[in-house]
């Protein structure tokens, strides 16, 4: 039986974030191959984490900057190791290389953090993103992790192009893997226009782009409320801080609801999903969930980025806040236009998010590289160079910290 070790940045929380859902879809795909799957992480356990044992997945708590990981992985001897985000490759990749040199190494980027960081910096300074923003020290670390890995999973078609064309990463090291959806579960009828009411948005409040979107909604909501007096805007999301709950304003119909057990229920009950996302990266789980519930969405070019290309959007895409308000009011009141854009959801889902097709493509890619791993690595000279001892500052820093902790 093939053994796979997944080293997570956090324990999977599919009810808290799109990243948690994406991770679970990958873990379940591996289990379907009859592989032995173990999930290890240095993160603390919490009440929202999924019970991996119920999924047939074993789990292990590991420590950062500690030689105990060497003993652990030497005994486990995985055939495949997948790192969740580049920081885990940076911390544990060299230890995997030392103890399991023949293990296939996969990096699940989730989204390009260097892109999100660069956009955030430019947004705070109220200017366009520059090459200097993008080519940051964070980018150097993230791209280095991609180059050291045998395969990197990229969730956005935009980020695939950015890596190949701007960062000059060889396409053979990348694999496009957006959210995987079992479309058979969502092929039925949905709640009709007349039975829906109010606007909604959802997102983990710890994620900076989500919090900024809530602040943008607070800014434009009075303009929508003025034209639709009976409407409310419901704000859902995990980990709402006091600054978020302080925005709750029943008089204005701006309601910060916080955690919700079933996101699909509140999305399907709503007439529109609003996502005025000003910066970020990857693809947006809230917008995919809106498609699944056939709830039209109004978002920005950053919000829809990488989620569609030639396919029409199931809603409206605009970066102009005045147009955002107009589109919100128009779609909320006009059933015929609402129905027209709603019909775009299923074709887009079938074209890009079919788990059957995407899962088969990933397994084929993994098996193909495994069979020719030596040749694959020989063709990645830059990755080999980055593994040379003179380039491994993170390894030596980790060893220094481990030794320091031992002598305390």
What residues are paired with 58 via a beta bridge? Answer: 38
DSSP letters along 333-378, please? H-HHHHHHHHTTHHHHHHHH-BHHHHHHHHHHHHHHHHHTHHHHHH
Q: CB-based contacts of 218: which residues, under 8 Å, 6+ apart?
A: 247, 254
Q: Are 161 and 137 in contact (CB under 8 A)?
A: no
pLDDT, position 390: 63
Average pLDDT for the chain = 95
Q: CB-based contacts of 126: which residues, under 8 Å, 6+ apart?
A: none
CA 338, 344, 350, 355 torsion-angle sign: negative
Residues 209, 125: Cα–Cα separation, whole Å: 15
pLDDT of 338-360, one tens digit each? Answer: 999 999 999 999 999 999 999 99
What is the number of alpha carbons within 13 Å of residue 61 lying toward its C-beta?
Answer: 4
Domains of the chain, each with CATH number or no CATH: 3-180+354-403 (3.40.50.2000), 188-352 (3.40.50.2000)
Residues 102, 392: Cα–Cα separation, whole Å: 19
Helix pair 321-333, 335-342: axis angle to 10 deg? 100
Q: Taking the model in full, what pTM does it have? A: 0.92
The low-confidence residues of the chain, meaning pLDDT below 70, are 389-391, 408
pLDDT, position 288: 97
């Amino acid at each position: 039986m093939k053994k796979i070790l997944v080293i997570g940045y956090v324990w999977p929380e599919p009810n808290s974030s799109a990243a948690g859902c994406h991770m679970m879809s990958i873990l379940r795909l591996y289990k379907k191959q009859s592989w032995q799957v173990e999930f290890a992480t240095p993160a603390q356990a919490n009440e929202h984490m999924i019970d991996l044992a119920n999924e047939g997945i074993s789990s292990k708590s590991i420590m950062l900057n500690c030689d105990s990981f060497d003993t652990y992985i030497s005994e486990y001897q995985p055939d495949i190791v997948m790192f969740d985000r580049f920081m885990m490759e940076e911390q544990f990749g060299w230890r995997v290389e030392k103890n399991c040199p023949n293990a296939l190494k996969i990096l699940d980027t989730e989204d390009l953090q260097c892109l999100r960081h660069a956009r955030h910096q430019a947004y705070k300074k109220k200017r366009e993103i520059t090459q200097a923003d993008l080519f940051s020290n964070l980018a150097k670390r993230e791209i280095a992790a991609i180059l050291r890995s045998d395969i990197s999973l990229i969730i956005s078609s935009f980020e695939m192009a950015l890596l190949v064309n701007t960062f000059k990463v060889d396409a053979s090291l990348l694999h496009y893997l957006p959210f995987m959806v079992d479309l058979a579960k969502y092929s039925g009828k949905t709640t009709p226009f007349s039975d829906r009411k109010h606007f909604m948005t959802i997102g983990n409040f710890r994620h900076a782009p989500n919090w900024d979107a809530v602040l943008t909604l607070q800014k434009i909501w009075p303009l929508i409320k003025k034209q639709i007096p009976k409407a409310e805007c419901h704000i859902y999301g995990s980990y709402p801080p006091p600054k978020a709950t302080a925005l709750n304003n029943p008089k204005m119909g701006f309601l910060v609801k916080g955690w919700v057990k079933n996101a699909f229920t509140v999305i399907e009950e709503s007439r529109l999903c609003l996502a005025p996302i000003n910066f970020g990266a990857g693809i947006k789980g809230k917008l995919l969930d809106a498609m699944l519930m056939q709830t039209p969405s109004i978002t920005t070019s950053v919000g829809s980025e990488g989620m569609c290309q030639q396919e029409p959007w199931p809603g409206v895409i605009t970066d102009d806040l005045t147009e955002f308000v107009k589109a919100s009011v128009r779609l909320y009141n006009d059933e015929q236009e609402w129905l027209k854009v709603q019909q775009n959801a299923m074709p887009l889902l079938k074209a890009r998010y079919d788990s059957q097709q995407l899962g088969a493509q990933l397994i084929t890619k993994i098996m193909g590289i495994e069979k020719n791993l030596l040749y694959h690595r020989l063709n990645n000279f830059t990755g080999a160079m980055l593994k040379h001892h003179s380039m491994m500052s993170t390894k030596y820093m980790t060893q220094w910290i481990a030794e320091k902790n031992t002598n305390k």
